[in-house]
């Protein structure tokens, strides 16, 4: 099927929020946390890459992606050259990086564009009286706190939601958490064993956090992860 670009917005240096639609479908069905695969021809070669859906289901055939431009990458510079109205091939949503049911208090750990699936999940999972969610989000600079306003609004609306951004390169005015997400794991877990933990980002973070959680005695079933590379 086809995915047509409707519009994009730069939400941080080198990061864009893309709005696509699947024109041949009335509705795109997916579970928050799933990804789509996009394919297009780059230098006469068909290239396919996976992208987590950053929006919630229920917007008809529209869906949103959050993409980081990898400077020497094959596909992302090409996607960043697309204009509204351009289309690429798309495979339907897939993936098992979804919230476990029944929902339990959860810790979501993201770095960079690894925030995308969590934005989708939280838009659906946070309801009055829902379990508690803590979102631990690591980036280098404050300007890279993707969707910060949206998460801060969720925090206002839902007392059981905690947004914990952390910066590895904070500016002089930053008063929040600093350092890598790993630094804040213990505090976020607060000695509990009855939480589900979700990790999304590049391999070094995901592998490292899994190792730490294993050392803390977490069961493999309680940890779900998506590696972007
Ligand atoms: C299930 C899944 C979901 C994904 N969802 C997203 C998403 O929502 N947003 C997104 O931006 N990417 C996502 N990715 C990564 C994406 O598929 C591509 O790998 C990425 O866009 C780079 O493609 P490229 O062809 O430009 O780079 P390539 O030429 O393939 O070069 C790969 C290099 O890019 C690095 N890289 C891969 N992803 C990223 C990233 N996000 N940020 C920084 N460096 C990266 C790799 O470490 C590697 O060094 C996802 C990957 C998977 C497997």
In a domain, 55, yes or no: yes
Percent of the chain clearing pLDDT 70 (strictly above): 100
- pLDDT tens digits, residue range 42-98? 999 999 999 999 999 999 999 999 999 999 999 999 999 999 999 999 999 999 999
Whether pTM > 0.75 for this model: the answer is: yes
* CA-proximal residue: ligand 1, atom 42 (nearest): 68
Longest dimension (CA), the chain: 53
Average pLDDT on 169-178 reads: 98
In a domain, 211, yes or no: yes
Q: According to the model, what pLDDT value does residue 167 have?
A: 98
Q: According to the model, what pLDDT value does residue 22 have?
A: 97
* CA-proximal residue: ligand 1, atom 39 (nearest): 228
In a domain, 99, yes or no: no
Chosen domain end from 65, 94, 123: 94
81 close to ligand 1 (CB < 6 Angstrom)? no
* CA-proximal residue: ligand 1, atom 27 (nearest): 73
Q: Based on the fold, state whether residues 51 and 74 are members of the same structural domain.
A: yes
- DSSP codes of every residue in 138-167: EESSGGG-TTHHHHHHHHHH-TTEEEEEEE
In a domain, 101, yes or no: no
Cα separations in angstroms, 227 against 2, 31, 109, 120, 191? 25, 18, 12, 17, 26
106 close to ligand 1 (CB < 6 Angstrom)? no
- pLDDT tens digits, residue range 91-140? 999 999 999 999 999 999 999 999 999 999 999 999 999 999 999 999 99
151 close to ligand 1 (CB < 6 Angstrom)? no
229 close to ligand 1 (CB < 6 Angstrom)? yes
Q: What CA–CA distance (Å, rounded) separates 78 from 88?
A: 11
Closest ligand 1 atom, residue 75 Cα: 25
3-state secondary structure at position 11 = strand
Q: Based on the fold, state whether residues 74 and 153 are members of the same structural domain.
A: no
| Number of folded domains that form the chain | 2
219 close to ligand 1 (CB < 6 Angstrom)? no
Q: According to the model, what pLDDT value does residue 181 have?
A: 98
Q: According to the model, what pLDDT value does residue 164 have?
A: 98
Q: What CA–CA distance (Å, rounded) separates 153 from 169?
A: 24
Q: Based on the fold, state whether residues 127 and 204 are members of the same structural domain.
A: yes
Structural domain for 157, as ranges: 106-227
Closest ligand 1 atom, residue 77 Cα: 26
Radius of gyration of the chain (CA): 18
Q: Based on the fold, state whether residues 19 and 77 are members of the same structural domain.
A: yes
Measured in angstroms, how far is the CA atom of residue 159 from the centroid of ligand 1?
A: 33
In a domain, 100, yes or no: no
Average pLDDT on 146-161 reads: 98
Task: Give the CATH number, domain containing residue 114.
Answer: 3.40.50.80
């Amino acid at each position: 099927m086809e995915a047509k670009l409707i519009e994009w917005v730069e939400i941080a240096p080198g990061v864009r929020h893309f709005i696509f639609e699947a024109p041949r479908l009335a509705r795109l069905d997916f579970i928050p946390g799933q990804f789509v695969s996009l394919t297009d021809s780059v230098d006469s070669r068909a290239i396919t890459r996976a992208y987590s859906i950053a929006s919630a289901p229920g917007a008809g055939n529209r869906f949103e992606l959050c993409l980081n431009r990898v400077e020497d990458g094959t596909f992302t510079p090409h996607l960043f050259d697309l204009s509204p109205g351009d289309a690429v091939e798309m495979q339907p949503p897939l993936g098992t990086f979804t919230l476990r049911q029944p929902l339990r208090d959860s810790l979501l750990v993201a770095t960079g564009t690894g925030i995308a699936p969590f934005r989708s999940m939280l838009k659906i999972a946070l309801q009055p009286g829902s379990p508690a969610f803590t979102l631990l989000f690591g980036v280098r600079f404050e300007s890279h706190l993707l969707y910060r306003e949206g998460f801060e609004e969720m925090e206002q609306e839902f007392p059981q939601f905690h947004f914990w951004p952390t910066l590895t390169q904070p500016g002089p005015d930053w008063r929040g958490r600093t350092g890598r997400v790993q630094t804040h794991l213990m505090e976020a877990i607060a000695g509990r064993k009855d939480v589900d933990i979700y990790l999304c980002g590049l391999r070094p973070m995901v592998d490292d956090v899994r190792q730490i959680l294993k050392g803390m005695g977490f069961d493999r079933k309680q940890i779900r992860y998506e590696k972007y590379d």
